[in-house]
């Protein structure tokens, strides 16, 4: 199907768009990224992998972690409990908006991909302590990626912990309305660590493959998450995985995907492949501009749209 040389050609084409984007710089660690970096890995169910660019480069998950935490929490708590605390509707508002929370009665984040919803999800990760809950999440990530060495960036976690005023604002709003009831600083500790988990685009691709295969790891044969959980996650990836450009992404590319401000994208083409991308040049909505271009080229060339 895909060849490495073709992929390298696509990467070259997509890189030309790097100049229209810029790297996130709200914390120093992200600001150091090179906007011209672009790497991709594609995992097939048969074990084939093709990649291009510097695939040893590690990227922090940031918002990509939202979809993984959601999967874990759906397994920990069940659909019903999760959706009592967070909605299922996409929104045209930016990811960090608080306004919608006020309008909706009872106050409940519209979906688990906006920050307010993601904080409610992370709040629900089971465990006796932040340490235990984070350890459980990390083990889950390692199993999904088939890589026991994955860990998190203490520097990034620390930086975000120190500056995440808006997320604290959202947490206290959620606490006021009974959506969360733990100590906000503890939740922020857990959440910033979750966002700072780092991996290569190769790892991302393999996680994407598990979602693509309905929760089953084709290499080990293990059903890591139930089919329903994988399906729910892919649905959210389509309706709200790319911030408030999700609708446009669904129209133009049509692949379930989740992006992060670090420039990472995790994509899952149902039944066909998992894709991991790292391209830190972001457009004004916070998505990797080169990564989206790359996915568009792949989707158009190989008809990857689910629609």
- State the catalytic residues: 63, 66, 191, 243, 261
Token pair for residue 80?
């019903």
Give the x-and-dash track for 250-269 against a copy of itself (CB under 8 A).
xx--x-x-------------
Binding residue per annotation — 48? no
Locate 226 and state its tokens.
Answer: 């139930």
Smaller CB distance to a copy of itself: residue 11 or 233?
A: 233
Nearer to a copy of itself, 10 or 236 (CB): 236
Mapped onto helix, strand or coil, the DSSP state of residue 250 is helix
- 173 sits near a copy of itself (criterion: CB under 8 A): yes
Q: Of the candidates 62, 63, 239, 288, which one interacts with a copy of itself according to CB under 8 A?
A: 239
Contacting a copy of itself within 7-66 (CB under 8 A): none
Residue 244, interface with a copy of itself (CB under 8 A)?
yes
Separation between Cα atoms, residue 25 and residue 29, nearest integer Å = 8
Cis peptide before 78 (omega within 30 of 0): no
- Minimum CB–partner distance for residue 54 and a copy of itself (Å): 32
Q: Is 288 annotated as a binding residue?
A: no
Q: Are 211 and 70 in contact (CB under 8 A)?
A: no
| Cβ-based neighbours of 210, under 8 Å, separated by 6 or more | 144, 216, 217, 224, 225, 230, 274
Question: Closest distance between a copy of itself and the C-beta of residue 270, in Å?
Answer: 7
Total residues contacting a copy of itself by CB under 8 A comes to 48
How is 46-113 classified by DSSP, letter by letter?
TS-EEEES-TT--EE-TTHHHHHHHHHHHHHH-HHHHHHHS-----SS-TT--HHHHHSSS---S-TT
Residues 81 to 110 in contact with a copy of itself, rule: CB under 8 A? 87-93, 97-100, 102-104, 110
According to DSSP, the residues that pair with 305 across neighbouring strands are none
Q: What is the DSSP letter of 129?
A: S
Q: Is 126 in the site for a copy of itself (CB under 8 A)?
A: no
- Rule CB under 8 A: choose which of 176, 183, 186, 220 binds a copy of itself: 176
Residue 255 CB, shortest distance to a copy of itself, in Å, is: 11
DSSP 22: B
Q: Is 43 annotated as a binding residue?
A: no
Closest contact distance (angstroms) between CB of 136 and a copy of itself is: 24
Dihedral angle computed from the Cα positions of residues 124, 81, 180 and 240, in that order, rounded to the nearest 10 degrees:
80
303 appears as a binding residue in the annotation: no
Verify binding: residue 305, a copy of itself, rule CB under 8 A. yes
Which residues are at the interface with a copy of itself (CB under 8 A)? Answer: 87-93, 97-100, 102-104, 110-111, 165-166, 168-173, 175-176, 184, 231-232, 234-236, 238-240, 244-248, 250-251, 254, 256, 270, 305-307
């Amino acid at each position: 199907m895909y060849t490495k040389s073709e992929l390298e050609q696509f990467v070259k084409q997509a890189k030309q768009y790097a100049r229209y984007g810029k790297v996130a710089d709200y914390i120093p660690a992200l600001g150091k990224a090179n906007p011209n970096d672009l790497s991709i890995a594609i995992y097939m169910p048969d074990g084939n992998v093709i990649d291009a660019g510097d695939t040893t480069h590690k990227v922090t998950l940031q918002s990509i972690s939202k979809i993984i935490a959601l999967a874990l929490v759906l397994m920990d708590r069940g659909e019903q409990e999760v959706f009592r605390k967070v909605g299922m509707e996409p929104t045209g508002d930016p990811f960090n908006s608080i306004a919608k929370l006020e309008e909706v009665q009872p106050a409940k984040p519209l979906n688990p991909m906006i920050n307010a919803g993601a904080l409610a999800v992370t709040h629900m990760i089971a465990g006796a302590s932040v340490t235990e809950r984070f350890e459980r999440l990390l083990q889950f990530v390692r199993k999904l990626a088939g890589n026991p060495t994955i860990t998190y960036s203490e520097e990034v976690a620390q930086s975000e912990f120190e500056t995440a005023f808006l997320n604290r604002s959202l947490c206290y709003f959620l606490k006021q309305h009974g959506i969360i009831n733990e100590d906000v600083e503890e939740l922020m500790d857990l959440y910033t660590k979750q966002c700072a988990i780092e991996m290569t685009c190769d790892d991302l691709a393999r996680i994407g493959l598990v979602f693509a295969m309905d929760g089953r790891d084709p290499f080990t044969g293990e059903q890591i998450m139930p089919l329903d959980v994988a399906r729910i996650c892919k649905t959210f990836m389509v309706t709200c995985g790319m911030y408030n450009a999700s609708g446009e992404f669904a129209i133009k590319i049509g692949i379930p995907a989740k992006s992060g401000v670090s420039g990472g994208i995790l994509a899952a083409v149902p039944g066909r492949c998992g894709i991991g991308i790292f391209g830190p040049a972001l457009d004004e909505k916070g998505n990797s501009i080169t990564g989206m271009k790359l996915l568009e080229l792949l989707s158009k060339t190989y008809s990857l749209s689910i629609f």
